[in-house]
Every structure is written in structure tokens, then in C-alpha cells.
Structure 1
Amino acid sequence: MLSTGRVYQAGLLALAISALSAQAQVPRLPTDNSLLVPNEYLITFTGEPGTSEGIAAANDFFASLKTKKIPYTIYENYTTLLNGAYIGVEDKYYDAVHSISTAASISASRLSITDDSPPINDKSTANPPLPMLADEYTGVNLVRNSTKWDGTNVKVGIIDSGIDYNHPAFGSCYKTKGCRIQYGHNYVSDTGRTDPLDTCNGHGTHVAGILAGNHGVFKGVAPNATLGIYRAVGCDNKGSVQHLAKAAEQAYKDGMQVVNISFGSPGGWSDWVMSTLVDKLRAHQIHVVTGAGNNGMDGLWTVVSPAVSRYSIAVGSMEVPKIYSLYMNVTVGGKTIPVRRSEQQTTVPLINLKDAPFTRGLSSAGDDYGCSPIANDVKGAVVLIQRQYCSLTTKAANVYNAGGAALAVYNTDSSDMGVIIFEYEVNLPSFTIFQNDGQALVALLDANKDATVTVDHSVFVFDNQFATAPAFYSSWGPNPEGPIKPDLLAPGSYIYSSLPLNQGSYGLMSGTSMAAPYVAGLVALLIQSGATFDDNNLMSNVIHTATPAKNAAGQFYSVAQQGTGLVNAYNALTANLAFRTRYNLPTYYDDFSYSTYPFAIYYENHGKEVANYKFAAKTCLSVSGVGTGTVMATPPLTSTAGASVSFSTTSLSTKAGSNGNFQVTITNSKLDRKAFLIYSGYIQAYAASGSTGYTYSFPYMGYAYDSSSISVLDKSLYGLPCMVRQSEYQCLDPSASHKFTFTGRDFPVILLRFQAPVAQMMIKVAYAATPTKNHASVEDYFFSLQSRTMDSTGYQYVEKVWDGMGHATSTPQNVYKMPKGKYVLRFQIQPVRTNNKVQYYTSPTIEIGS
């Protein structure tokens, strides 16, 4: 789930249109980058794995396939965590397969991703071990300096892209006596190996270093933990559910006590297979820590699967005050200034310049946007260009044609630097810098004729201008079905950790992938300290001792963005009170009327002294994913309005070894339902005057609007929903009839975008003359289960290609070509929490034959 900040895909925004019309041009989804694998499914059967009932159900399922004359191939059987199989079967038989009673669930093969950008070249340079800066802000240094806990004898599994076991941070060994990596397997065939050696990716090695690395001054959170490494993610940063399920089963067989999963499928639901696997692992008393995802720029409901699992510890990313960064040394006016820079793009050799000329790139009109030929002399120089008005590819091409040695792009807003990705290769090292640094450099360059710059691949410690805020890329909750997600935050930006030796040994990565192993390491320390598999202890300590973050105005960020806030390892390990709130603090779906919500918080005193506490209610910013005209708002809108909270008691005095509960009531009657707000806050328990103890935070969240008043189909992007030809990708006139040959690439494609969670979508065929009367089915059991529609390409819409086939609901295995005639596709969309109010979209007329 790595994201090195905002990824600038050059030219992507140029495809946007200024007006929405029937002839709107929409971007084409690259079919080779889809996260759905065609014609492959993971089926679970009724009955538990290994039982006579489960075996009988599996046998019945395959017998039914044969009876229905549906061809299939078995790729994998699962008999430990799941009672199921991974099979190949043509998509057109989906409804027929779904109709088999012994199929408990049918999951389309959905790839999980660790990274939404290509590997970064600047990782590929030899670096020494350095300490993890984030340890200073999360209590890890305090744990290391004052306790003996280091993860010894705790088994931690990492399901990822493998590990470079030759790295000194992991003992330069694999499965030998005394080696910390004692378990592992490779389930991906792209390296031709059975061991989980990570040479082509780096993600898994980086994650493992944060969790359990140990090399000189570089130490992970649990530097002496025993590791199980399960390679289920390939060199392309993608993992098939076929391999992920096998890895989870093996982690269980090997006795892992904690499992870290730093990847996921965007727009997750808790009944997707990876989430189900998390639930199964927990049922076997294995804690699973997951990265929340890196789709925060896309707003609410973007936590990935498996992080949406009710039983995962879902970790988002927090910015901390000091970070490492790549940089360039700019010398101007006799003064040398270090300036943060992003990684360069991957397609050219690494930049390595010493005392090169540094200058602005100016057009004949005097601007520095780089959108027209560069007019001043920039030969051999690093050229400073401003973002905006044209693609980054165009800017780089103009600098290259003028003889520039490298391109430095400064932002036009205060967002993160991001990484440049060009539309096509430009043989020019290019990187970005912050807006404020760029503006300062412009002033210096305008005042001084001679300036030089040195650029290499070392890192330097910088102040983080985004400190103490959730990272902009960190995915927002809530889980569309109920539980609060993410659970908490950990450091995730510009984390310095181990990389494969062939990628330079150490380097920077950012994302919730980096935050998750931080918490997984803490769970290992808690297990070593004696915490048992008991939510009242271990889980409570991890989550409720975290520190909620506030913005510059002193307002708490929404629980939907930060959970309980920044993890505190020392507090978690030494807290004496435990609270049983982990699974009885749901999100309150108040869709249809104002309500009052009472609930209880249970506590246990595990300390040796009386604990005296006071209670207070803290309101977070309310957020809304619905903007003007009930159109999706990204980022979410905010409001200071919140729910009111009352307590059965405002204080607590509990003796050592005692337990009890107190009552809390939440009322949202003062909130404006037309504002479509998701409200949240914390009930905080803090040490009473004269007592000692930590502050514990218990999050709550609720909806204060009728979601049935919102159209689930967002019409704000590219004129969607609309129908296009697969060969053209231009919205067709909705009032006209359109002929298709259904050959080559001449197929109708329906493009949809959801702005709210969707539970189910059925696709029917109707005659154009009677568009509201279903004639046949395309997909009766197509469970979209999309919190929001996203994939690894960054496009935010569903693409449904119709091949002209249909079937009768009564006999779904009989798929046939629709005869000549005029038809429409009728989409029946069932959003979540809308009082079962189905919404519809009817396509333009599709003409088959002449």
C-alpha cells in the first residue's frame, strides 16, 4: 500500500472536460491494470474446513457444476482457514455458479496492491543504517530505554513481497539455527523460487525492517521477534487472492501470533475474502494488523480490504515532526541551503550532479511554467519550473530540448511534493519540491546571477511542515457496514527502513504500509510482556492509549480520518486500565430520524493501586462527503457541529483487580440533517487531580442524515453515468439509438461512479420500447460491494462491458446471444442504509443487428 506522496500522473488531468455534455470524452481504463481478474473466483462452501459437512458441501458444489455443464478448473483448494477453492470458470456463468446452494460465497478474483506508483530509482543507492526518527514521538524510544521488551520468542508473520534475507538487518540468514527468519514461503511464480527472497520489489523488506529490523543504530519496533515471511505479492506490487489465502493459511499453520498485512483492495468490504481471512485468523487467536490504504484524497469510505475487517487493527498514517528526506544543496550568494526534494522518476539513470548551474526556466514571455520553449540559457543546469497549465511531460520535454541537465518542479499549492510520472519517457532526471521552497528559490535566483546545486541520493533530517496531522493520502473511513475504521494512526511518511541489497540497503518509503508494521511490532511487544489474547487488555491498550490529533485551530480531526490518533507504545505497554469497547462502539447509522444512543463502557483495573479517573466528552470535526447539489465532495467538507454526550457518572474510582462499567448517551438532535454530516468524538477518561495515569480515548461516530435522499450515482465527473463505445470512449447521445457489431472492440460500455457505498447491483436487459420491464438478466447476483469505486489506475469509475449475452433468471446457466432488436441495460443499484430504496440507471438504446 505504499504511496510516496501524491503521484502526479502527467497528462491525466488534461483529459478532464470543462463542460459536461452528451459527447463528453472520458479517459480509457487500461485493461491490463484492472484489479479484477477475469474468469477466476474464490468459492467458499458451507460447513467448516475439514468437517464431514464441509467436505460434502465441496463435493456437492463440483457435482452441481458438472450437472449444469459448466466447465471449470481447480487451481487451489483451501482446507484450513477456509473451506473453499480457487477456480477458473467463465464470467458468463457467474449467476449459475451463484445459484448453487452449497456455495457460501463467491468472490471475484480481486488483486490487492501495495503500491500505486512504479518503484522509485532514488531507492537504488547504497545507504548506511540510520535510526528511525518516528520512535521519538511514539514512545518506542522510551520502551527501548526503560524495558526489556524487544519481541523475543514472539512469532510475527509478514504477508507481503518477501524479504531480502541476506540483509544484515535480518541476520543475513534464512531458516538456519539461530536465524530470526524461521518460517516462510513464496507463492508467486515470477522469481522462479520457493523461498521468499525479495529482490525485485523492496516493499516487503521495508515493512519487515520497520517491524523487526536490527542493524546497528537501525532498530525496528520489535527487533528480536521471530519472523515468518510469506511472499504473496509479486514484482508488479500486486497480489492475487489465490496466493494471499494460501499465505494466510500457512501463517496459521506456522503458529504466527501476529500477522502484518500492508496491502489491500481499494473500496473494501468486510465480506471480501481477504477480510474474511482476517476474521478467521483472529478466531484462531492471531492478531492481524493492516494498512488502512492510501486513497485519502478520494474522501470517505476509502479504507481497503482487509483493513475494513471488524477484527483487524487498521492503521492509518500520521505525520510526525522530524523526517528524513532526499534533498539538494543550493548554493547562492555564498550561502548553501538544503532543500527537500522528491524521488526522481524511474526511467532514467540516477541524478548525481555536483555544483551544477541552477537557474529558472523562462519562456519568451517571462513566465516559468515551462509550457513553451525555454528562452534563457539552461544548458547543463538544473532548471526550476512551476507546476500548472500544462503536463509535466511537456515541461520536461522543453527543458530537455533546451539542454537542461535536470528538472525541479515546485508546487503551486501547499500539498506534499509527490512523485513525477510521465506519459512517455523523457530522458531527463526530474523531481518536485515544495511550494514554499520553490518560491524562496525564485526570489534568490532573481536576486543573484550565479547559483549552483549539488544533487545526490543521501538523506537529511528536516522539519515536517505537515507534522501532527493525518497524512493526506491516508484512507478515510468509516467502514460502510458499521465498525469505526481506521482504528488508529502510526508514522507512515518518509520512513527510513531496510531495502534489498540490490536497491541500496536502506531508503525512504511512505504510506500506510509503513504505519501498519509499526503497530504490529507493538503488538509483539505486548505479547512478550504477558498480554494474552484478550481484547480487554492487549487490544484496548493499543487503541485506547493512542493520542487523538488536533488541527491548527485546536479541533480534533474526525474519527473517520484518525481513529483514536497516534499510537503510543510506552503507554500501551504500561497502562493498568483495560476497557472492553473494541467491538461495541459501532458507527450509528441514523438514516431516518434523530435518535438517542445509549451504550456502556466496561473497565478492568489490572494495576496494583486504586485508579481515580474523570470523564469528559470531546467533539471532533463533523465531515460530509456530499457537497452542493448532493454531489460527492473530495476532500470531505467539515463542520464544527457535533452530537451531545452525557454520562451516568463523571468520575471513576476502582480498586486493584476490580471491574465495572459506566453508561454513555449520545444525542444528535441538534444536527442539521440537510448538511449530510457524519459526526464523531471521544469519551476520554483522564487521571483525576492528585492521581497518576494515562488518558484513554473511546471513539464514537454516527450519521445524521437520510442517505436515501442522495443519488448513489455521482454525475460530477466526465458526464457520468454514460455509455461509450469500447473503441472510442466518448459519451454517446443518451437520446439516440446506437448500433454495435459486438466484434473486435465495438461493444457498449457503461461507465458509472458511486459517491456512496453500494451493497448490490443487478444488471437487467429490457426492450427499448418497454425500458422498465425486465426481459432478461446480464448479472443477477453481481454484488458490487464498493464503498467507493477505485482501482490502481487512479480512475474512479466502474466499467461494465456488455457482450450482448443474457439469460433467464430461472436458468442462469443457459447464457445466450440476444436476438436482433433494440434494448437498454437497466442497472438496479442497492445502496447501503437507504431503507432498501433501489436506484436505477437506464442506458441509451443499444441496437443489435440491422
Structure 2
Amino acid sequence: MFSFARLGLGSFLALAVLTAHTWADDSSTIPLGTDGVNINIVPNQYIIEFEGEPDTDAGEQATQDFFKSLSDGGISYTVYENYTSLFNGVFIGVDDKYFDAVYGITSAASVWATRLSNAGDQPPVPPNLPTSPPLPNLAHEYTGVNRVHNSTQWDGTGIKVGILDSGIDYNHPAFGGCYKTPGCRIQYGGNYVNDTDRADPLDTCNGHGTHVAGVLAGNHKEFRGVAPNATLGIYRIMDCKGVAPTNWVIKAAIQAEKDGMQVVNLSLGTPGGWRGWGESSIVNKLVRRGIYVITAAGNNGMDGLWTVVSPAVATQGIAVGAMELPRYYALHLNVTVAGKTIPIQRTEQQTDIPSLNLRNVRLVRATDADGTDLACTPLTQEIKGALVLAQRGTCDYTTKAINVLNAGGVALAIYNNRTDDMGPISYNQAVTLPSFSLTIADGQALVKLLGESGGSAATATVNHEVYAFDNALAYTPASYSAWGPDPEGAIKPDLLAPGSNVYSTLPLNMGSYGSMSGTSMAAPYVTGLVALLVQSQRATANLTLISNVVHTATPAKNAAGQYFSVAQQGTGLVNAWNALHADLAFTLRRSVPVYYDDRHYTKFPLKLWWENRVNAKVTYHFFSQPALSVSGVGTDSQSATPPRISTTAASVSFKQTSVSALAGNEGFAEVTISSSKFDRRDFMVYSGYIQATPTVGTGGINYTLPYLGSAYATVNLPLLQSNYAGLPCLLRESGGGCLDAKSVHRFTLTGKDFPVVAYRLQAPARQLMIKIAYAATPNSIHASVESYLYGMQSRSMDTNGVPFYTFRWNGRGHYVGKPLDVFDLPKNKYVLRFTFLSVFMNTESQTYFTPTIQLDGP
């Protein structure tokens, strides 16, 4: 992401699950990908986890049985890597047409598609930015980190922290300017990306990993990360585009365990992920080996519920979303009019031309022949030597810039006409005019200021310095931060940390310091805190440490004083001081799953297990606080983004309202939660907090224990969105819109004359089965295309312009129950039946039949 830009989608987004498209809602055609291939799944590559542990008789037998099954079935394969550490498995190449066959081999405990995790939709940080100085981390003031640094000895010394990311600029003074030399803080790591001959993890083309490392452990003059003296292991698994396939993640995770990493940070993922995906499984395996793993929740928050990424949905990791804080650094321009100077936030300019350095130049609002400030036609007023203010819209940025340049302007500020994030300005041809963008609020304020100036000349000073701005969104979850719950209903994210406009380290060739936004920045903040906790030795068990981090956070409220949903913020903003001084540790145990299929129950018990971790008696009182209820579907049963809000809350009753715990004792308090107030047709996810406060005068801290559940039968949740551009529908790969549902459509299966089905998922579907029937008997299955389709489907995400999935049929299938016998169907008329199974894979399902497909070739 460009330095200092406030980019709403942040730095942690992933590619969609099937073919990606760039498509506006008002388009009359649906442009398709070139080949219908699943762009975030690597074709013909899988990671297989065998039954049994590595180096055991059972594990070896399962491995042999698997390969024997492949050979007996005549399935060709290529072994790329064997895994005998962390888990018993193999990275293998197999033709996708045999996926159903591979999935069904019983000696394979798990079959993971090789997915492409992503570090963001942002471009890499551009090179040649002016050098920025180290500045204090403003977030530390609001999270208790400054208090910890100033009053304790905990700074991460001696703790090994692994960062699996895009590498690091180890020449940066914040990391000692060294790599694996005696006394160097970076003592471990390597490069797992095949785009360079380097063995070391030098980060010079992306910047993401260097920024993450700075948040966690940077240490240079005024700038300090959360754990500024931690020992680092840097494992480069992302290429210059910010992409990391599953096999790179696994190799780095295995090495991190061998290197003795005690804490690991993963700021990457695929949105709408499932616990059974490879990356999530690897997180759980690391945690079972005693390694704390912290993950970024993802930046698809604008897509509503169920958008937390894999691996953040891993049950045993800590998933971190992003919170807005009261102040942040940003590039700016100083505007002076009528003797008053006002700082205005701006984005970075282009980096292929000299950096802006303007002092007291005229600031002029663009006026064109139409009397507007759009700058879409030649400008009529005198603007020579001026910084020109123009509004976004009507024409492209290049046209505006050329008109300003031709009229003699020296720079262009384009203010937004919407509340979304413009980001930096880019042109579709070379233009030497320095340009940057402003928010709609700041642009309109400048327009008003210039109009009220009474003829006073306005001037502007623009350089590359930053200014600490107040944040009107302070203490609210960032709009981009992904919502939970996970597809199976567990609470994710676990908590929030600073994520917007986070000032941290960048590679030296990218300016040394700069700001990024995203849950990628929030995760290492918590990772640094975990390193401090490990150093303090106050939490020696995994569940205790997680409790200290998660249950001491502070949940946020909206302007009306209502708590944001647990599905949006977990337990709220991290509090380092409280986490390091917790006297009780809590675990929540329920007699039914967290997010049960609520067809038969309206009540469920919740046990608050506690353990006294200090050498004194403590007394705490319990009370409940409801949070807003939310729904991922609207009253029309179609997708609701942002989620629909309700103040209806679950009822909470306590069997005991207080606990007195002697030193070293443990026990539990019993709570009952009822969802009987809800109309199940509203599909509401309810949540709230049980808060534990110490007896007055006894010391101690406040604890926040979240709960969340569904007030509906999960199997009734509508999976397919049917009001979105006519989807689901049949298309022709060569282009165009949806084909008529009542007609017969002929396909030659040559060139781009293939049938494509487009559909949009508005809720998680665990499994998609695609079957073939003769058009004359659509309810009688003739053959199968896919029975599992990579096991699970995610929600459709709008990230990168991908509002739906597509499936391209090549005319192949296999008889049901005979996945090895893949064949080309003969010329005939067929229909494809798409069956979507809900979270619990009950017999209830949602089905779509295509129009008649007549195969005429090849």
C-alpha cells in the first residue's frame, strides 16, 4: 500500500475462490476469465495429510496405502514435497479431473487445495519515496503499551518471534541493520519464494513484511514496536505481488517450529475461509506444539458477516481485527487563508516524478467552461503556478491533470465525491503533474473556505512531512475489518488492535517509514503483546495466555451507547497493561456447539471456568451487557451488506453472580442464555458480554467474556443470492449476459464456446455438488462433475471486483460412485444440477438447475 494513504480495504485481502471478474452492477454483460480456472486455487496441486503421525508405523502404512490407491486407479501423480515434521503428508500434483477420486481415498485424513493466500489488494509500496524519520507509535498511548514500556522490564528480550510474510529489509536500523550475524536481532529465517536466487528474506519489492515487523518489534530512536527487543525469525513466503501458496506457508511453518519460534505472526489469508483449509490446519498444528499463533482477521468487512479469512478461523489461534484510534499520522498540506493555517490530510503523490515541495503557492479551485470544478474541460481562469483543487467525477484523472497542466498549474488536488477511499492518484498515460487526493469532507470544507474568504488569497504549503490528525471514527471497528462469526459459528475475530494509518517501518528504498492500513497491521500488534506475556512468564499455559489477551480487552460502543456486535469486534480493543496484570484466567465451555443448529433449542448453558493465577484471594462480580444483534440477510432473504442491525438481545441469567477465588483455586460459574425473543425468520446472530469486575477496593482488573449464537435454524439460511444481476444463470464463456432460462443453448466445446454457470453465495456453503442429468429427465442423475468441489465453498466476495463465482464446464463427467472413470459426454441435451449444502451438511439443501445445454462437439 502506498505510504501514508488511508486505503479503506487495507492490507490484508485475498483473491476470490473461483474465477475473478471485474464487473459493475449496471453492466449489461458479464465479462469472464480467460479459461474459467479457479484463480486462488493452484490447478492440479494438493496437500495431502495422511492418517497417523510422522515416523510411526500407522503413518507409514497410511502413506503407502494412499499411493497404492493412486497406482491401482491408474492416476498419474508427481510428488513435490514430503512432510515428516509438523504433520504426516505430501505436496502432490494430480490432474484436477481426479479430485473426487483423491478426496475419497480413506488413508487421506485431509485433502487441501493449494490456495493462494494474499497480503492485500494494494499494490506494493512504491520505491523512491522520500525518506521519512522515525516517529513515536501513537497507538501505544491508547493500548497500554506505553505504560508497560515505561514501568516494566518487558520488551521481548529473549523471546523468539516468527514472521511469515514478504520478508524484511534487514538493513533497516530498526532491526539492527544485520541478518544472522552475532548479536543481530534477526537470527532465523529464509526465503521460500522462487522469484529470486537469494536465500535470505530481503524485502525490497513489497514492503508489507517490513511494515509488519516494525509494528511488532521495530526499535529505532523514537520509534518502538510492541516488543522492541524480541529475537526475530523472518520467513519470506510472499512474492512481490503479495501472494503465498499453501506449500510455501507449510515449509516456512515447519522451519519456524524447528527454529524454536515461541510466537508466530501470519498477516495473510483467503476470505471467507474454513477451519478445514490447509492454512487454518497448520495454525492449529503449530499451537498444539506449544507455539502461539496470531493471525489477521481480514479486510472484507464491507461484505458483511462470515468474511474472516483462513487461517484466522483456526480454532486455536488468536484472530485480530482492526480498530480506529483517536490520532494517526498522515501526509498533509497546510492551507492558509485570511491569516489562518489549517492542515488537510492528503495521500501520497506519484513516485515517478520529483516529490512535492511547494511553499506558499496559490490554492485555486478549478473553474472550467461549464462553471464546475471537475476540470474535465479546459480551465478558464488564471492558475499559473497554483495548486489546483478539483472534484472527482465525470472524466478520468488523466483528463483533469492535462487540463490543469496546460493552464499552468503546478500540482493537482482531487477531492472525492463519495465517502469511499480514493487512494493515491494514478494516470493512464505519462503526466508530469504532481497529484494527490483528498477526502470528500476535506474537499468540501476547502471549497467552503475558499468561497467564504471574501477574496482573500489562499496559499498552500506541501511537502513530505506528516501531521498527527484527530480521528472522528475513534474507538470504532474499522469499516474494512472482517466480520465473523466463522462459517461454523465460532467467535472470530477474537479482539481488535490498531489497524488504520499505522505508522511503521518500510524498506529503505521505499522511504524507511510510512503508514499502512489493515488487519495485517493489527495482528503484529497483538503478536508483540504475546511476546511480552511469554517473557513475563505470567501465563505458562496456552489457554491462560489467550484468556489474558482476549478477555482483558475493552469492547467498543456506537454513538448511541450500544456495544458493537461480538461478530464485528470480538472482545474489543487490546489492553496490554491489563493482559500483563490479569489475576484470573477464563475459559468458556458450553454443553452445545458455539453456533448450534437452532431447530430444537432456545436456551443453552454456558460455563465460565476460572483459575486464580495470583497468590491472593480475589472476588469478582458478574453482570451481562447485550451487544447489537446482526443479520447477514435482509428482510427479503437476500444479502445484507452492511449487516442488518437489531437491538433485540438474548436473555442472560446467572446461577451465581459472584465468585471468591482463593489463591491457586479454579472453578466455574453457570450462565444460561436464551434466544426466545427472536423471530427466527430474521436470521439474527445475537451476542453480548458477561463482564467480571473486582470487588471495590480489592484491586484487580475488569474482564470481558463474549458470547454469540444464532437465533435461527442454520439449515434454513438462504445460501444463494437471487436478486443479484439475474444470478444464478448460464452464460457463454465468449461473453454476454445471462442466457434465457427457458431456451436450449448449443455449445461446441471449442475456443470460448463453453457453458459457464455464475452464482453468488451470500452465506457459507460447506459443500457444492455438481451433477449431470439428461434434459428430458432432470431429476434423474446421469453422471457427476464434482461431488466435493474442493470440499468447501466460501462466501462470494466483492474484493478485487469479484462479486460472484463461475464454473466452466468442459463437457466431462464421471458416473456416480466411479470417480476414476472420467469421460467426455456424448452429444446430447443435458442440465447441470448445482446442490449447495449448508454448514452442517444436513439433508436440507439448495439447488439450481441450468437451462438445457446441448453439446454439439468437439
**Alpha-carbon distance change, 138 to 498 in structure 1, aligned in 2, over 3 angstroms:** same
Match of 2:166 in 1: 161
Query: Is 1:16 aligned to 2:24, yes or no?
Result: yes
What does 1:484-503 align with in structure 2 at a 5 Å threshold? 484-503=491-510
- Which amino acid in 2 is paired with 1:606? R
Q: Residues of 2 paired with 1:337 and 1:13: CA distance?
A: 42
8 Å contact kept, 1:315–1:488: yes
8 Å contact kept, 2:21–2:801: no
Match of 2:286 in 1: 281
Q: Alignment partner for residue 594 of structure 2, among 583, 587, 590?
A: 587
Deviation, structure 1 residue 106: 1.7
Q: Which moved more, 1:44-53 or 1:782-791?
A: 782-791
**Alpha-carbon distance change, 757 to 350 in structure 1, aligned in 2, over 3 angstroms:** farther
Q: Residues of 2 paired with 1:159 and 1:675: CA distance?
A: 41
Q: Residues of 2 paired with 1:185 and 1:582: CA distance?
A: 40
- Which amino acid in 2 is paired with 1:26? I
Match of 2:271 in 1: 266
Q: Equivalent residue of 2:68, what SS?
A: helix
8 Å contact kept, 1:414–1:434: yes
Match of 2:581 in 1: 574
Query: In the TM superposition, what whole-angstrom CA distance separates every residue of 1:386-411 from its partner, at most 9, and x where no partner exists?
Result: 34566666655665676655443333
- Which amino acid in 1 is paired with 2:460? V
Q: Alignment partner for residue 722 of structure 1, among 720, 729, 748?
A: 729
Deviation, structure 1 residue 385: 3.0
Q: Residues of 2 paired with 1:582 and 1:186: CA distance?
A: 41
Q: Equivalent residue of 1:754, what SS?
A: coil
Query: In the TM superposition, what whole-angstrom CA distance separates every residue of 1:255-302 from its partner, at most 9, and x where no partner exists?
Result: 111000011111110010000001100110101000000110110000
Query: Is 1:247 aligned to 2:262, yes or no?
Result: no
Match of 1:25 in 2: 29
Query: Is 1:639 aligned to 2:641, yes or no?
Result: no
Q: Alignment partner for residue 366 of structure 2, among 356, 361, 367?
A: 361
8 Å contact kept, 2:589–2:608: no
Query: In the TM superposition, what whole-angstrom CA distance separates every residue of 1:45-89 from its partner, at most 9, and x where no partner exists?
Result: 222122222222223322322332222222222111121111222
Deviation, structure 1 residue 771: 1.8
Q: Equivalent residue of 1:38, what SS?
A: strand
Q: Equivalent residue of 1:840, what SS?
A: strand
Query: Is 1:670 aligned to 2:652, yes or no?
Result: no
**Alpha-carbon distance change, 516 to 123 in structure 1, aligned in 2, over 3 angstroms:** farther
**Alpha-carbon distance change, 709 to 147 in structure 1, aligned in 2, over 3 angstroms:** same
Deviation, structure 1 residue 752: 1.1
8 Å contact kept, 1:150–1:223: yes
Deviation, structure 1 residue 603: 1.2
Q: Residues of 1 paired with 2:451 and 2:239: CA distance?
A: 48
Q: Residues of 1 paired with 2:473 and 2:284: CA distance?
A: 35
Match of 2:571 in 1: 564
Q: Which moved more, 1:519-528 or 1:583-592?
A: 583-592
Match of 1:238 in 2: 243
Q: Residues of 2 paired with 1:638 and 1:61: CA distance?
A: 49
Q: Residues of 1 paired with 2:584 and 2:542: CA distance?
A: 12
Query: In the TM superposition, what whole-angstrom CA distance separates every residue of 1:177-236 from its partner, at most 9, and x where no partner exists?
Result: 111111111000112211111111111111111111111111111111111111111111
Deviation, structure 1 residue 334: 3.7
What does 1:1-12 align with in structure 2 at a 5 Å threshold? 5-6=7-8
- Which amino acid in 2 is paired with 1:136? E
8 Å contact kept, 1:330–1:452: yes
Q: Residues of 2 paired with 1:288 and 1:123: CA distance?
A: 34
Match of 1:812 in 2: 819
Q: Residues of 1 paired with 2:421 and 2:439: CA distance?
A: 7
Deviation, structure 1 residue 153: 1.0
Q: Which moved more, 1:210-219 or 1:36-45?
A: 36-45
- Which amino acid in 1 is paired with 2:738? C
Deviation, structure 1 residue 381: 4.2
What does 1:208-607 align with in structure 2 at a 5 Å threshold? 208-344=213-349, 350-370=355-375, 374=379, 376=381, 378=383, 381-387=386-392, 405-414=410-419, 418-420=423-425, 429-448=434-453, 450-581=457-588, 587-607=594-614
Q: Residues of 2 paired with 1:349 and 1:583: CA distance?
A: 61
8 Å contact kept, 1:706–1:834: no
Deviation, structure 1 residue 107: 1.7
8 Å contact kept, 1:586–1:700: no
- Which amino acid in 2 is paired with 1:228? G
**Alpha-carbon distance change, 725 to 609 in structure 1, aligned in 2, over 3 angstroms:** same
Q: Which moved more, 1:113-122 or 1:747-756?
A: 113-122
8 Å contact kept, 2:303–2:798: no
Match of 1:144 in 2: 149
Q: Equivalent residue of 2:636, what SS?
A: helix
Query: In the TM superposition, what whole-angstrom CA distance separates every residue of 1:123-171 from its partner, at most 9, and x where no partner exists?
Result: 8221111111000000000000110011111111110011111111111
8 Å contact kept, 1:586–1:701: no
**Alpha-carbon distance change, 801 to 536 in structure 1, aligned in 2, over 3 angstroms:** closer
8 Å contact kept, 1:407–1:430: yes
**Alpha-carbon distance change, 528 to 395 in structure 1, aligned in 2, over 3 angstroms:** same
Q: Alignment partner for residue 108 of structure 2, among 100, 103, 109?
A: 103
Q: Alignment partner for residue 91 of structure 1, among 96, 107, 113?
A: 96
Deviation, structure 1 residue 726: 1.7
Query: In the TM superposition, what whole-angstrom CA distance separates every residue of 1:712-737 from its partner, at most 9, and x where no partner exists?
Result: 11123322112222221422222222
Query: Is 1:55 aligned to 2:55, yes or no?
Result: no
Q: Equivalent residue of 2:779, what SS?
A: coil
Deviation, structure 1 residue 586: 5.6
What does 1:725-764 align with in structure 2 at a 5 Å threshold? 725-764=732-771
8 Å contact kept, 1:540–1:580: yes
Query: In the TM superposition, what whole-angstrom CA distance separates every residue of 1:524-556 from its partner, at most 9, and x where no partner exists?
Result: 111111134414521111000000011111110
**Alpha-carbon distance change, 356 to 726 in structure 1, aligned in 2, over 3 angstroms:** farther
Query: Is 1:132 aligned to 2:137, yes or no?
Result: yes
Q: Residues of 2 paired with 1:157 and 1:400: CA distance?
A: 49
- Which amino acid in 1 is paired with 2:289? H
Q: Equivalent residue of 1:574, what SS?
A: coil
Q: Alignment partner for residue 40 of structure 2, among 35, 41, 44?
A: 35
Q: Equivalent residue of 2:66, what SS?
A: helix
Q: Alignment partner for residue 185 of structure 1, among 181, 184, 190?
A: 190
Deviation, structure 1 residue 844: 2.0
- Which amino acid in 2 is paired with 1:666? I
Q: Alignment partner for residue 174 of structure 1, among 169, 176, 179?
A: 179
What does 1:605-684 align with in structure 2 at a 5 Å threshold? 605-684=612-691
Deviation, structure 1 residue 351: 4.4
Match of 2:16 in 1: none
Q: Equivalent residue of 1:111, what SS?
A: strand
**Alpha-carbon distance change, 423 to 831 in structure 1, aligned in 2, over 3 angstroms:** farther
- Unaligned regions of 5+ residues in structure 2, if any? 14-19
Deviation, structure 1 residue 487: 0.3
Q: Residues of 1 paired with 2:128 and 2:701: CA distance?
A: 40
Q: Residues of 2 paired with 1:71 and 1:700: CA distance?
A: 49
- Unaligned regions of 5+ residues in structure 1, if any? none
8 Å contact kept, 1:14–1:391: no
Deviation, structure 1 residue 704: 0.9
8 Å contact kept, 2:329–2:466: yes
Query: Is 1:771 aligned to 2:778, yes or no?
Result: yes
8 Å contact kept, 1:121–1:344: no
Deviation, structure 1 residue 445: 2.2
Query: In the TM superposition, what whole-angstrom CA distance separates every residue of 1:346-372 from its partner, at most 9, and x where no partner exists?
Result: 676654444444322344333334566
Deviation, structure 1 residue 378: 5.0
8 Å contact kept, 2:45–2:93: yes
TM-score for both structures, normalised by structure 2: 0.93
Q: Residues of 1 paired with 2:685 and 2:773: CA distance?
A: 38
Q: Which moved more, 1:521-530 or 1:782-791?
A: 782-791
Q: Residues of 1 paired with 2:69 and 2:350: CA distance?
A: 52
